[in-house]
A = this chain, B = another copy of it.
Amino acid sequence: MLKTTIELEKAATILKLLGDKTRLAMMKILDKHDCCVCEFVAIFKTSQPSISQHLRKLRDLGLVKEERRGQWIFYSINKSNEYYPFIQQILEQLPSQDDKLKDLEEQGTRISCC
């Protein structure tokens, strides 16, 4: 168990952000693998702008980082964020979302860009 505590209001802000199934699944996936936007678009049944908007919210709080690699923009968990330990403890309790990525690989979608 972690000893550190986190200010309650800040915790509420983070939990609210994680309290959306798309963002929560994104964070769970990102905790293990970097991903580009097109992968998320393929994984979740929603539009590209919707994915971008979710990522922006996560980025605005510093929970994820973005990095351009050529044509693509890869997102990764920001492990140096001061709230990462708090978030990680939550993510650890969630089932792996690797099956979602695996489905993409089988479809060949993941290989197309990443």
Contacts and interface: CB of A to CB of B under 8 A. Distances in A.
Contacts of A11: 24, 90, 93-94
A12 B19 contact: yes
A9 interface: yes
Contact of A8 (B17, B21, B92): B21
A7 interface: yes
Interface residues of A, number: 30
Nearest to A90: B90
Nearest to A16: B19
A49 interface: no
Given A5-B94, A19-B19, 19 more contacts: A2-B92, A2-B93, A8-B95, A8-B97, A9-B21, A11-B24, A11-B90, A11-B93, A11-B94, A12-B20, A13-B19, A15-B16, A15-B18, A15-B19, A15-B90, A17-B19, A89-B89, A89-B90, A90-B90
